[in-house]
Chain A
């Protein structure tokens, strides 16, 4: 299920790249976020020091995670909340369904929650006869379209207003115009208001869990988080265990960085702190508050080289700055977590074998590390995952053989020189001004022209260059006459049968569908 092989990833990426709506939507949104982030961070007196401090706090919390979680539990219980522990997705969804059933719930309103996406809560609720309705506008659009989010912060980033109008038309059963955005928003508000009032249960995630008071913090821009957590009589918050933080001072730093890194806002429009259920005399609020502390493989990363990934606060800055994400958007990653953080986190959560392509969905440019508020070294972890793929044989044997022999060859300078000289002979029919002209179907670089080997290597040129008169003015350009190297002739005979066969075999394997 949901397997992302090289083959599927490449096919989906090609579709995304060929989709002009998607391209302009992603380009526009991510560019705006990049600009706004810079502006918002410039407000802070010393943002680099704050990031260092934040990282140190996150690392220290994770180093003593169980203690902080236990304190969180004690304080949450003292405030009147119920606390549940879920080892995996099945346990988490069962707990939520159990609570819903206890209250005879048929309808659940939901605030946007990536953890809920991770455990496929909507599908589980549906199956249990409880209808989940997403109330974050973007998340609702994605739900109506039966898709998964294209971005961890802006789920419907990829949808045009025409597509939104069509979806809403189908939902309300009346034709709606794509040109009247306020009308569309009003329709959504009207439809969702009814759901808020009718729902027996509200389900949210939690951006932060503050241990010293057992509080959870919800960060939203539409106020729907407040509705979900205060209108229905029961509120369930599913929180990843890594989201705990010791004190409110720590939470303050967290909030300073979260919205700025994410959408470039100094603070999200709504920041909701919830400590326990409604007390006697409160005008509103749920009678019951349940907090589900969800592990889902996180504790297994503690103490490993991947622990750092648990410092993530899901701000999405790494997506907005990733040149790969900007080309392909979220759905190509085959999981709700996309972009650089998804490329690292998803294989860790669900297995390298199932998501073999994700650690390779990066040019290792380092933009993610540069902008991450917690300075999570995602490139380093991508490299480690790739090394694991090699060690565990996830990378197919033919490719392993090819890479290993290439490395061996590069360790033998003369032989390498000989073989490249053979290549110089073979490439002749394909030479053009801008590289090799290889038929598209046989070109492993797709539509990019392959580089050609220079007529003579630097090694071959060195003697002339060494002898070159050291006259600063008027050094003559080195001659680049094409001539067949003599040692190449011997190699040509041997290599003639081998090189094209190896290349062809490799190409056919790559094209041969799912590996």
Chain B
């Protein structure tokens, strides 16, 4: 792959408003991997919440907006598998309603990466082992795992940074978030999350790592029930590679 010159970060609306430290860490990691990162300030939301709850027209408008914003860049990197999957898998058909939209969306999809994917497969970056790295357990977020086929990348980065990974029972079991699902049917969503956090807790790991801000936000809703730290992959890696 030719080395992308202009790399844009799409922090996602959730990171922008709720956990900006994830965006900060992602930018620093990309810089450490040798890239200059641009932040197109007009960006807001990829449209996924609306697509997932059936509001297709609204999702399409936000998709079109993001397409216009990110099209000029050679690579778009997101610190979240779910939003990356939205651009890669849903934009091409959502943008059908604009002439040439699908082709433009497909081109954008081909240049869009989830952070760990970009670091491993494009940048070929490997963190140096840290002196004191924690024992971690990794949550495979659903869209990242099942739609993008990613998970080994996160684990490889964590291991290279010196972390020992203790796998939880069924690491690919959903954390219960599901976007608006977590508000439409919170009873079920919460039961799923508590089960997830419980399983993570029994590993004895110090940190529960996820590469998806949505899962992290959801699981943090029950963080007070566990002694574990819940961290985004980017934040932990950034700390370990300072």
Contact = CB atoms under 8 A, between A and B. Distances in A.
Interface in A387-407: 387-390, 395, 403-404, 406-407
B72 interface: no
A466 interface: yes
B147 interface: yes
Interface string B46-64: 0101111111101101100
Nearest to A11: B187
Given A324-B192, A386-B54, A390-B55, A363 B183 contact: no
Nearest to A389: B54
Interface stretch (B97-105, B111-119, B157-165, B218-226): B218-226
Nearest to A327: B191
A410 B49 CA distance: 11
B32 interface: yes
A11 to B, nearest CB: 9
B174 A361 contact: no
A505 interface: no
Interface string A460-474: 111001101010111
A369 B172 CA distance: 14
Interface size of A as a range: 35 or more
B181 A362 contact: yes
Contacts of B179: 363-364
Interface in A61-102: none
A361 B188 contact: yes
B183 A445 contact: yes
A366 B176 contact: no
Contacts of A460: 20
A388 B55 CA distance: 9
Contacts of B133: none
Nearest to A446: B186
A434 B223 contact: yes
Given A327-B192, A390-B54, A411-B62, A453 B181 contact: no
A389 B188 CA distance: 21
A408 B193 CA distance: 30
A229 B55 CA distance: 50
A470 B31 contact: yes
Contacts of B129: none
Contacts of A435: 220-221
A435 B216 CA distance: 12
Contacts of A447: 190
A453 B55 CA distance: 25
Contact of A395 (B54, B186, B241): B54
B17 interface: yes
B20 A456 contact: yes
Given A363-B174, A420-B17, A13 B221 contact: no
B45 interface: yes
A195 B197 CA distance: 49
Interface in B1-34: 11, 13, 15-21, 23-24, 27-28, 31-32
Given A404-B55, A407-B50, A445-B190, A413 B44 contact: yes
Contacts of B177: 363
A451 B50 contact: no
B17 A383 contact: no
B24 A360 contact: no
A416 B65 CA distance: 15
Given A323-B192, A363-B179, 10 more contacts: A10-B185, A13-B188, A360-B181, A363-B181, A407-B55, A445-B221, A449-B224, A458-B15, A458-B20, A472-B31
Closest 8 CB pairs of A and B: A363-B178, A386-B54, A407-B58, A448-B221, A365-B174, A446-B186, A458-B20, A365-B142
Interface of B: 11, 13, 15-21, 23-24, 27-28, 31-32, 39, 41-45, 47, 49-56, 58-59, 61-62, 65, 142-143, 146-147, 172-174, 176-179, 181-193, 195, 217-218, 220-224, 241-242
21 contacts: A323-B192, A327-B191, A360-B184, A360-B185, A366-B146, A404-B58, A406-B49, A407-B58, A408-B58, A434-B220, A434-B223, A434-B224, A444-B183, A445-B183, A445-B190, A446-B190, A448-B193, A448-B222, A452-B18, A457-B17, A462-B39
